[in-house]
Amino acid sequence: MRRHLLYLSGTALLQATLSLAAFGEERAGNHIADKASPPLHEPENATLPRPLLKTAFRSTVGSIIRHPLTTYHLGITLSRRRGATLFDNNLPTLQAAQLFSEQAPRPGSPEFELHLDRAGLPDRIPGELNYHIGGREFFTAFEKELAEANLSIDSQVYIFDNDDIGVRYANLLRARAEEIPVRIIFDDLGSTMAHGKHPSSDLPQDFIQPADIGAYLIEGKSNVLLRETLNPWLITDHTKLHIFDRKVAFLGGMNLGRESRYEWHDLMVSVKGPVVDALSSDYDQTWRRNGPLGDFALFLRQKDIQLEEEPGTPLRLLRTDILTARNEIVLAMQQAIRCARDRVWIETPYFSSDIIETELKAAATRGVDVRVILPGKANHQIMNAGNSVTARNLLSAGVRVYQYPEMTHLKAMVCDGWATVGSANLDTISLYINRELNVSFSEFKLVSELIDRVFEPDFQTSSPLAIDDIDLKFAPLIESITDQL
């Protein structure tokens, strides 16, 4: 027991250092000219923002009190994951090269989806999927569903910002809570980090930021029901999920704030049909997990999902969840890259995963058209340096790497006729530690639309990189740090 406690103490210190280094990931990038709509009304009060160290302390101690079993389990699992990451760059090379065969099912084919079934990934669920590219498309659709909801609104984000856009949607949600049930979940640590930074695009001159968006959501006579995700060992819930009337759901990479609305290039998708039942059940579980019952909620029996046989596109919901040992996103990506014959196209804001890097280099060696779009300058210095190291390694293997001129926060991958989009970055935190939500599919029209509306325009907008463009000192040190992020 003493050895375990010492082990966990060391893990906590490492996780705190790495997490605080990476928490700039979802902050403002370059400004895209477009004026924000003013909030519906000003905050009633504005004091000093919630302190970061207090939030970290509250999340850790609160988790130990409310979730003693899961906190201990997470600590052990996290320490093992951190140790395994140190060896990832030594082992996958042989795996990636040896596991490909001409008989491998092509991504996008029915045989490939059966291959993913046999790999233990969640069953596909029928649904209807639509893309919302950029803040204007998503927030317009989001506001429409928010205004038209008749039964319920369930919303979850990593960052619920306290800028003018965050306050605008807090006001709209407060107003709807006077008429129908409104539940909101946001990540405590992620939102606290956002509160402490000023957006690169200026706030309206007469706008006063509330110190705490959580307090603002529930102050006065508000009927909003709010739960904030605690962060044992500084593990965060990076999910973005909004459900209206349990009939329409949005998921993807955007938070509720100015950077998602006006500053970053990003993507959300909306879904309808039986897949929303699964997402609603997932939301309910997250709500219980973060409730006053704490670990006791784990013993509550979950209702079985009764999925009706309805027409629609088969959609596969994928999770990263260290608590339940779900690494479905990285597993699906690995299999798709390994089986690809023609194309692997990726857009991501942060790329430091040795496992995915190795798979891409092996695919390029086989003659697959491998392309990666990265932001010209990521919004955090260490992640930008990590992207540069990865880009150099990929270029050396024949992968084509592009720089998007602004901050792209979009996360998408196409392998032949298969695609996945969602919240997960290509780094250790997203693929193994933080809680993430992606959706994958093999429907020809959806994959083609993703290529036509995202990849083709972004390749044209971006600049191709050459090895000579990358001048990195201390590359091995940077790589060893970002491998843990």
What pLDDT is stored for residue 292 in this prediction? 80
What pLDDT is stored for residue 23 in this prediction? 44
pLDDT for 307 beyond 50:
yes
Name the average pLDDT for the chain.
83
The verdict on residue 14 lying in a domain is: yes
Which residues pair with residue 57 across a beta bridge? Answer: none
Last residue of a domain, one of 299, 328, 357: 299
Higher pLDDT, 89 or 262: 262
- 239 and 350 part of one domain: no
* Most confident stretch, 88-92, 94-98, 198-202: 198-202
pLDDT for 455 beyond 80:
yes
Percent of the chain with pLDDT over 70: 76
Average pLDDT (118-141) is 98
For the chain, what's the residue count? 485
- 218 and 355 part of one domain: no
- 151 and 259 part of one domain: yes
What pLDDT is stored for residue 38 in this prediction? 41
Number of domains within the chain: 2
160 in Cβ contact with 257 (< 8 Å):
yes
The verdict on residue 308 lying in a domain is: no
Of 303, 463, 314, 474, nearest in space to 382 by CA = 474
Average pLDDT (313-332) is 94
| C-alpha Rg value of the chain to the nearest Å | 22
The verdict on residue 448 lying in a domain is: yes
Q: Would you place residue 102 in the very low, low, confident or very high pLDDT band (cuts 50, 70, 90)?
A: low
Of 97, 63, 127, 80, nearest in space to 327 by CA = 80
Backbone angles phi, psi at 120, to 5 degrees: 90, 15
What pLDDT is stored for residue 37 in this prediction? 42
Specify the 3-state DSSP secondary structure of 137: helix
The verdict on residue 307 lying in a domain is: no
Average pLDDT (371-392) is 84
pLDDT for 4 beyond 50:
no
pLDDT for 448 beyond 50:
yes
- 182 and 113 part of one domain: no
119 in Cβ contact with 331 (< 8 Å):
yes
The verdict on residue 304 lying in a domain is: no
Average pLDDT (449-461) is 98
What pTM was computed for the model? 0.85
248 in Cβ contact with 274 (< 8 Å):
no
- 180 and 150 part of one domain: yes
The verdict on residue 305 lying in a domain is: no
Which tokens is 448 given?
A: 């083609």
Backbone angles phi, psi at 136, to 5 degrees: -60, -50
- 376 and 401 part of one domain: yes
Which residues pair with residue 316 across a beta bridge? Answer: 440
The verdict on residue 306 lying in a domain is: no
pLDDT for 195 beyond 90:
no
Dist. CA 252–CA 268, nearest whole Å: 4
Catalogue the E-assigned strands of 273-336: 313-321, 326-327
What pLDDT is stored for residue 376 in this prediction? 87
Which tokens is 206 given?
A: 């007469």
End-to-end CA distance of the chain: 28
**Alpha-carbon distances, residue 230 vs 67, 131, 210, 305, 464 (angstroms):** 10, 31, 21, 27, 41
- Rounded to 5 degrees, what angle do the CA atoms 104, 108, 113 make? 70
- 77 and 180 part of one domain: yes
Query: DSSP of 367-408, one letter per residue?
Result: T-EEEEEEESS-SSHHHHHHHHHHHHHHHHTT-EEEEESS-B
- 11 and 157 part of one domain: yes
Average pLDDT (43-65) is 63
- The mean-pLDDT minimum among 95-104, 397-406, 429-438 falls in 95-104
- 131 and 264 part of one domain: yes
Dist. CA 363–CA 347, nearest whole Å: 17
Domain that holds residue 282: 2-83+125-299
**Alpha-carbon distances, residue 485 vs 260, 372, 479 (angstroms):** 22, 19, 10
CATH, residue 187: 3.30.870.10
- 79 and 118 part of one domain: no
What pLDDT is stored for residue 98 in this prediction? 46
- 106 and 28 part of one domain: no
Dist. CA 82–CA 232, nearest whole Å: 15
